[in-house]
């Protein structure tokens, strides 16, 4: 059996490193063809020496000499710059591209990979949030599978395997509720980025952890689900489930509900996307209902966490609105992480930014780029 050749974009991040663990556990199934990183040259070099890819790309060109030199004794091509990432995904031998970079930067290489006919393991949710219409259209045109890596979307994907699309009535996205689930509005006023970075169940990168605390992550996932599963937003419900054991659910037209459950381990959805339609054996710990003996559910509070409402509003309007939402959010999260604005200010800046950008009903790729720049500037002006 030919091993699946993978290009991992963002290999030094949380999803990237876990993807490499999955590859390491399944040497008969996967091989690393390319690794790309933004800044973390040390880890990229270490990964390259372990997995011996054909190519590595360091996006930050300042770090090119360092990476080049460190790998000189090995037959590994070293490229630099964001344009090189767009090139690497199109290489003929690449079978699947794992899009594990953070934020909006995932959009361009994802589009290039789809146009080159590569299967996508999508871990960069911003790609679908910003340009879901474009991405899904391109995927259909190029007959490319877009396989979700997010645990929620992987759960939904697993629940609809073998089911007909028309039998799906509703998607139920579960949300942990984040570290501030039980906080009063008064308490929320003074929470710090340090508190927000302590997610109760999942260990993730900084950006997505803040997005989880503000529920923007769930808003993005709702938008992502709309595009991945072709569901109207009103048929996507968010339910707070603090234990994060049920990763999401699907309700069918006969009233039956299917759920996917597991321990909070991203390696499971990563492996599922990489190996689909196969399920590869793992020896990781199993869910134990003597320990996970209570699962609870609550409605999300859209008053305390307005980001969820903003996300629904954006996707209902469609066009470039989710792109504005994402750009403004990237700006406010960065500002919050540097303690420039408060937790509650984040939603306020986003809400103020949304109406300030010209609405474009059917944006082109260039419209998305322009919207992104404009929205960042407007959001920054509020900080």
Binding of a second copy by 232 (CB under 8 A): no
Helix (H) or strand (E) holding 377: helix 365-381
> Does the footprint of a second copy cover residue 278 (CB under 8 A)?
yes
Q: Is 379 left (phi over 0), alpha (psi -120 to 50) or beta?
A: alpha
For every residue of 60-104, which 3-state class applies, written as one string? Answer: CHHHHHHHHHHCCCCCCEEEECHHHHHHHCCCCCCCEEEECCCHH
Nearer Cβ to a second copy, position 40 or 174? 174
What SS3 state is found at 180? coil
Asked if 297 is part of the footprint of a second copy (rule: CB under 8 A), the reply reads yes
Of 123 and 259, the one with the shorter C-beta distance to a second copy is 259
Residue 258 within binding range of a second copy, rule CB under 8 A: yes
Q: Select from 295, 309, 344, 360 the one that contacts a second copy (CB under 8 A).
A: 295
The torsion of the CA quartet 160, 165, 167, 172, rounded to 10 degrees, works out to 50
Site for a second copy in 144-183 (CB under 8 A): 158-159, 161-164, 167, 172
- Interface pick for a second copy out of 83, 95, 265, 313 (rule CB under 8 A): 265
Q: How far apart are CA 68 and CA 72, in angstroms?
A: 6
294 binds a second copy (CB under 8 A): yes
The window from 31-39, 40-48, 69-77, 292-300 that contacts a second copy (CB under 8 A) reads 292-300
Span from 41-49, 116-124, 280-288, 323-331 in contact with a second copy (CB under 8 A): 280-288
> Which strands form 30-37's sheet, in the order they lie side by side?
77-80, 55-58, 30-37, 4-9, 96-99, 119-122, 146-148
With tokens 């992550």, the residue in question is: 217
Tell the smallest beta-carbon distance from residue 158 to a second copy (Å).
Answer: 6
Instruction: Please give the residue ranges that form the binding site for a second copy (CB under 8 A).
Output: 158-159, 161-164, 167, 172, 239, 246, 249, 251-263, 265, 268, 271-272, 278-282, 284-287, 289-290, 292-299
């Amino acid at each position: 059996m030919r091993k699946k050749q993978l290009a991992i974009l963002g290999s030094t991040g949380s999803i990237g490193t876990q993807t490499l663990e999955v590859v390491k556990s399944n040497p008969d199934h996967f091989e690393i063809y390319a690794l790309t990183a933004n800044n973390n040259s040390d880890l990229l070099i270490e990964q390259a020496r372990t997995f011996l890819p054909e190519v590595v790309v360091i996006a930050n060109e300042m770090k090119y000499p360092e990476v080049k030199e460190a790998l000189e004794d090995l037959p590994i091509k070293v490229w630099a710059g964001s344009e090189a990432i767009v090139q690497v995904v199109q290489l003929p031998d690449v079978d699947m591209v794992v899009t594990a970079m953070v934020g909006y930067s995932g959009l361009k290489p994802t589009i290039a990979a789809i146009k080159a006919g590569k299967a996508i393991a999508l871990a960069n949710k911003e790609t679908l949030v910003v340009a879901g219409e474009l991405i899904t259209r391109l995927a259909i045109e190029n007959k490319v599978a877009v396989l979700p890596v997010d645990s929620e979307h992987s759960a939904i994907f697993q629940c609809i395997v073998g089911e007909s699309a028309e039998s799906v009535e509703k998607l139920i996205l579960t949300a942990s509720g984040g570290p501030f689930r039980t906080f009063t509005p008064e308490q929320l006023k003074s929470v710090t980025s340090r508190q927000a970075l302590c997610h109760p169940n999942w260990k993730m990168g900084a950006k997505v952890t803040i997005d989880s605390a503000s529920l923007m992550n769930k808003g993005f996932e709702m938008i992502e689900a709309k595009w991945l599963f072709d569901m109207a937003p009103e048929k996507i419900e968010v339910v707070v489930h603090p234990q994060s054991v049920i990763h999401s659910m699907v309700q069918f037209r006969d009233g039956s509900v299917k759920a996917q459950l597991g321990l909070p381990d991203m390696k499971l959805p990563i492996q599922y996307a990489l190996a689909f339609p196969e399920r590869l054996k793992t020896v990781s710990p199993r869910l134990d209902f003597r320990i996970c003996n209570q699962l609870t559910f609550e409605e999300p509070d859209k008053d305390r966490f307005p980001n969820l409402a903003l996300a629904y509003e954006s996707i209902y309007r469609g066009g470039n609105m989710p792109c504005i939402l994402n750009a403004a959010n990237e700006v406010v999260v960065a500002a919050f992480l540097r303690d420039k604005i408060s937790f509650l200010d984040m939603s306020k800046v986003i809400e103020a930014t949304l109406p300030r950008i010209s609405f474009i009903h059917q944006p082109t790729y260039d419209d998305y780029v322009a919207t992104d720049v404009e929205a960042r500037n407007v959001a920054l002006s509020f900080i």
